[in-house]
A and B are shown apart, each in its own frame.
Chain A
Amino acid sequence: MSTVDPTVATNPRRAPGRWQRFWRSRLVRSFRRSKTALIGAVIFLLLTLSALFAPLIAVTDPYDLATLDLFNSHLPPIWEEYGTAPFLLGTDSQGGDMLSLMLYGMRSSLTVAFLAVATSSILGTALGLIAGYFGRRVDGVIMRIADIQFTFPAILLALLIGGISQSLLSNSARAELAMPIVVLALGLSHWPHFARLVRGAVLVEKNKDYVAAAKLAGRGPWTIMRRQLLPNVLNPIFVLATLDIAFAVMGEATLSFLGFGLPPTEPSLGTLIRTGYNYLYSGEWWLIVFPALWLVLLVVSINLVGDWLRDALNPKLHQGS
């Protein structure tokens, strides 16, 4: 605090604000330099906004049968023969507009993905904090469970959790609980990644002076974890969470495609592809090709940002720069 900020000294009129400091930070500068990250972020933002405002953009509403007209079913995209406005990308067997279906589908896909990442990051962070701070027995038990989960690929665990719990339910309960089950399947399969990351960071942080000071000040372990340790391990959690959204989107689509995710009545990118798969030989290619490409576009855009973020926050790459 005793050193004078050079920008303040040369520019006495005003100190750089919070926003300006953010804009000039190394992270943001490297983001502005990276063309691929910028493209990815723009695409992701557009896709998310279009999903958010789906009810305003969509021509038909898959949740409202009154907006569907069987007269408009099986229409090809607008540039083909028999293509009809306003159904830009064609319609399905119910007369639902493909573009609208995909927007609503992406809505549920993204909702599931965000909830799943919230589950895995909160659970993993909490357990990682506890394991790292208390150590010994607690640490041993938590990390042993994490190790057992690490034995299996995450997608296999998600499939096992989702598939087995769906298979044990009755048909009516299945449709009702589909969303929470997918969220839990994806969330529970990924928490060890967060726990391992947070535990490692806590092991480094907990021996620092500010933690000792907080202890001397009489703060309890839970307060120290929340107020001292958590803010200092947030950065890597954020990176992992970003990368994890791509995993969760793909996971939801895969589970739904296999029939253990969202039910067909709930359009998601996975269920749309599953439906389209049945029309593979019918010549109605738009039912499958568009949702498939849409899903890939969404995952690519997240991974473009995630890939940059991983490099930008990797201290190894900044040596000498």
Chain B
Amino acid sequence: MLSILVQRSLHAVLVILVVSVLAFLLTSLVGDPVASILGIQATPEDRAILAERLRLDEPWIVRYLSFLGGAIQGEFGISYSAQRPVGDLLLERIPATMELAFSALILSLAIGIPLGVFAAVYRDSWVSSALMVGSIVGVSLPTFVVGILLIFLFSVHLGWLPSFGRGETVDIGWWSTGLLTWSGLKALIMPALSLAISQVALIARLVRAEMLEVLQTDYVRFARARGLAPRKINLSHALRNTLIPIITVSGIQLGFLVAFAIVAEAVFQWPGLGLLFLQALGNTDLPVIAAFLMLAAFFFSAINIIVDMLYAVADPRLRVKVALGST
């Protein structure tokens, strides 16, 4: 167990270091940071002062180390376009993205698991095969297409739901949540749904496949032989064993949801990290882009470690495999 943790952590450190080098190259070698901050009309004195403050005259290895040191403390310099510390900008945006991704995850599990169970239990009915074809359509729906079609239906045609923004938010400490107001919840429905759709399809397929396997096992047969009610067998014997892989897959799903949240945020103008990143790309706001890269490296490394640990906890056979170094 410990060896997996150590091995995965070393991998995470490597990932973060590689990304930090790329992010550093981006901020320091591309373009002219002094001109980006001061504009072209700055006097040579101003430029010299800023160059010294940014430590542009020092060797790159020193600058890289100070970049890395700053990154570890959450300091990425000043955003070119917002003229505010990048760390603060990111921190403000984290709650919006996390609430969106987690809502989508819960939504996809809440819809996907029952569908998968149903498709496994009634595997010979037409509903089950319709669900399987439906799941192929589900994974074929790009997030932004679902988002646009939802806006088209529920905002433009029916006028039920807002097409952009987060609604009213309530601050709890530094975390601003939209989950406590009616308008916030209404604004959350469509972005979360557009993110969840393709994941619903994946979860349903996975649950069905796992469930079909578990239903073949001896102890489910014994439970049937003992005359237990099919409902009880399906739900408490079979589903419970199916849930272990689902929990670990949820971790991977969360990673995908955060990645696709960028797209959903663009469609719904959801003020999260993704929208900030896209705006930074549009303005070539390099400190924000670099900070986003670092945050992504950290976040996805953490998710991978958690997923691998969950796998190891759930399936003891994997502990040996991972320890031997084969993946």
- List A residues at the B interface (Cβ < 8 Å): 36, 144, 147-148, 151-153, 155-156, 159-160, 163-164, 166-168, 246, 250, 253-254, 257-260, 273, 276-277, 280-281, 285, 288-289, 292, 295-296, 299-300, 302-304, 307
Contacts and interface: CB of A to CB of B under 8 A. Distances in A.
A260 B152 contact: no
A163 B278 CA distance: 8
Contact of A151 (B148, B163, B297): B297
29 contacts: A144-B14, A147-B11, A148-B18, A151-B12, A153-B256, A153-B260, A155-B260, A159-B259, A159-B262, A160-B296, A167-B282, A253-B142, A253-B145, A258-B144, A273-B145, A273-B148, A277-B267, A285-B152, A288-B148, A292-B145, A292-B149, A295-B145, A296-B140, A296-B141, A299-B141, A299-B142, A302-B140, A303-B136, A303-B140
Interface centre among B151, B152, B293 (most CB of A within 10 A): B152
Given A144-B14, A280-B151, A303-B136, A296 B145 contact: yes
Contacts of A276: 148
A164 B296 CA distance: 14
Contact of A277 (B14, B31, B133, B148): B148
Contacts of B242: none
A164 B136 contact: no
B281 interface: yes
A220 B15 CA distance: 35
Interface hub of A151, A155, A296 (most chain B Cβ within 10 A): A151
A313 B255 CA distance: 29
Main secondary structure of the interface of A (DSSP, over half): helix
Given A151-B300, A156-B262, A299-B140, A280 B148 contact: yes
Contact of A300 (B140, B149, B260, B282): B140
A140 B101 CA distance: 34
B15 A300 contact: no
A163 B282 CA distance: 8
Interface string B140-166: 111111001101100010000001000
A77 to B, nearest CB: 15
A9 B291 CA distance: 72
Given A155-B259, A280-B151, A254 B156 contact: no
Given A152-B259, A163-B277, A296-B137, 10 more contacts: A151-B15, A153-B255, A164-B281, A167-B289, A168-B284, A253-B142, A254-B263, A257-B263, A277-B148, A303-B139
A288 B277 CA distance: 25
Given A144-B14, A167-B289, A273-B145, A152 B140 contact: no
B112 to A, nearest CB: 17
B215 to A, nearest CB: 17
Contacts of B304: 151
B259 A156 contact: yes
B284 A167 contact: yes
Interface in B69-107: none
A281 to B, nearest CB: 6
A260 B255 CA distance: 22
A292 B148 contact: yes
A254 to B, nearest CB: 6
A62 to B, nearest CB: 21
A7 to B, nearest CB: 35
Nearest to B280: A167
Contacts of A250: 140, 142
B243 to A, nearest CB: 23
A102 to B, nearest CB: 14
B35 interface: no
Contacts of A163: 277-278, 281
B296 A156 contact: yes
Interface in B5-41: 11-12, 14-15, 18, 26, 30-31
A303 B138 CA distance: 10
Nearest to B257: A153
B124 to A, nearest CB: 16
A299 B146 CA distance: 14
